[in-house]
């Protein structure tokens, strides 16, 4: 019997039907398809439409097929962790809402607010519960309805973000696969560059905060761009060194999808072949906590048991890091 690790035993994603194209954005703000493609790599993104719809609905859209394909009864789920910055409500959390919507009546849950690193932080947290030996089935979800906090009159942010959700099922594995190592980081000084000004205890909602558009994402893109490349490259290099990995032995790099140019710069900085880098930003834009599980979902067919994966992210906080895992199944 080997060491108990947390293995991903299934993954599924959900994106809403509505496709917001660069052409449609051209009719909304002073931008162009050409600018968006060349500066971000994004061609279209998905938007959740319909009143009464929220982040938990997209999470449910990812989880129900995941439970189905892994043959899991909702009542077997013991814990759900949801990485999100767009919870259905400030409180209660979204994870327990998800549990009630999917019928996981024996589970408890909580949210993790780590912006674009939300899935990685949630995955590591879930792994600790599995490694303790006490938990056998944990859902880890990355879900964000970014359209609920985006100003569609601000061209510097509205072209980037999209809505989506991805979920994995964690179970104990003792075959040498699973989550092996991680380097996770945070630096609160970075909050200046990427945040939402109002709606929290610092600046509660008032008629003025709404009129002043303080409930939308604010981003000073350039410093975030530079810090993102540095943060992802450094933590990938550190984790490769301490686990004796080389570019030849890493099968897949799974970067947060914030900007095609950031992804390319990270791959270049690591001298890593682009064929082994998962990228779907062109279709979905930046879905914040959902980008990494959406990639895993779309690449699931290509993943083989014991493949070495490096998941890396950078986001608001600042939060960032890299997780090393060995894939646990052949699809």
Chain positions contacting ligand UT7, by CB under 6 A: 31, 35-36, 39-40, 116, 155-156, 159-160, 221-222, 224-225, 228, 258-259, 262, 286, 314-315
- Choose between 7 and 41: whose C-beta lies nearer to ligand UT7: 41
In terms of C-beta density within 10 A (0-12 exposed, 13-18 middle, 19 or more buried), how is residue 329 classed?
Answer: middle
What are phi and psi for residue 4, nearest 5 degrees? -75, 125
- Choose between 284 and 327: whose C-beta lies nearer to ligand UT7: 284
Give CA 207 to chain center in angstroms.
32
d(CA 76, CA 185): 32
- Shortest distance in whole angstroms from residue 239 CB to ligand UT7: 20
Of 281, 269, 275, the C-alpha closest to 322 is 269
**Distances 237 to 16, 253, 278 between C-alpha atoms, Å:** 35, 12, 18
- Shortest distance in whole angstroms from residue 31 CB to ligand UT7: 3
- 120: tokens are 């990685």
**Distances 268 to 128, 232, 261, 306, 310 between C-alpha atoms, Å:** 33, 12, 10, 25, 15
d(CA 89, CA 151): 19
Which residue intervals of 243-313 are DSSP H helices? 260-269, 281-284, 291-299
- Shortest distance in whole angstroms from residue 184 CB to ligand UT7: 16
- Shortest distance in whole angstroms from residue 141 CB to ligand UT7: 18
- 300: tokens are 């699931």
**For ligand UT7, which residue has the nearest CB?**
221
- Choose between 84 and 328: whose C-beta lies nearer to ligand UT7: 84
- Choose between 119 and 314: whose C-beta lies nearer to ligand UT7: 314
- Choose between 138 and 158: whose C-beta lies nearer to ligand UT7: 158
What are phi and psi for residue 108, nearest 5 degrees? -115, 175
- Shortest distance in whole angstroms from residue 314 CB to ligand UT7: 6
Enumerate the active-site residues: 116, 256, 286
What are phi and psi for residue 160, nearest 5 degrees? -90, -45
């Amino acid at each position: 019997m080997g060491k108990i690790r947390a293995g991903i035993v299934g993954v599924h994603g959900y994106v809403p039907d509505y496709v917001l194209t660069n052409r449609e954005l051209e009719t909304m703000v002073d931008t162009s398809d050409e600018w968006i493609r060349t500066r971000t790599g994004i061609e279209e993104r998905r938007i959740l439409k319909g009143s009464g719809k929220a982040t938990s609905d997209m999470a449910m859209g990812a989880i129900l097929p995941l439970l189905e394909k892994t043959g899991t009864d909702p009542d077997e789920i013991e814990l759900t962790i949801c990485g999100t910055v767009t919870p259905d409500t400030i409180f209660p959390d979204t994870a327990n809402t998800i549990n009630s919507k999917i019928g996981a009546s024996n589970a408890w849950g909580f949210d993790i607010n780590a912006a674009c690193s939300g899935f990685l932080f949630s995955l590591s947290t879930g792994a600790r519960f599995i490694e303790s030996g006490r938990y056998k089935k944990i859902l880890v979800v990355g879900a964000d309805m970014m359209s609920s906090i985006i100003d569609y009159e601000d061209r510097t942010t509205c072209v980037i973000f999209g809505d989506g959700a991805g979920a994995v099922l964690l179970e104990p594995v003792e075959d040498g696969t699973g989550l092996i190592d991680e380097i996770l980081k945070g630096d609160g000084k970075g909050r200046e560059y990427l945040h939402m000004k109002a709606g929290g205890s610092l600046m509660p909602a008032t008629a003025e905060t709404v009129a002043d558009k303080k409930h939308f994402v604010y981003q000073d893109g350039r410093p975030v761009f530079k810090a993102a490349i540095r943060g992802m490259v450094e933590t990938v290099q550190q984790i490769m060194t301490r686990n004796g990995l080389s570019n030849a032995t890493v099968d897949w790099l799974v970067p947060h999808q914030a900007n095609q140019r950031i992804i390319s710069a990270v791959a270049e900085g690591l001298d890593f072949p682009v064929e082994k880098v998962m990228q779907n930003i062109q279709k979905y834009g930046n879905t914040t906590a959902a980008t990494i599980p959406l990639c895993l979902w779309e690449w699931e067919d290509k993943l083989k048991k014991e493949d070495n994966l490096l998941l890396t992210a950078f986001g608001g906080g600042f939060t960032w890091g890299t997780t090393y895992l060995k894939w646990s199944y052949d699809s």
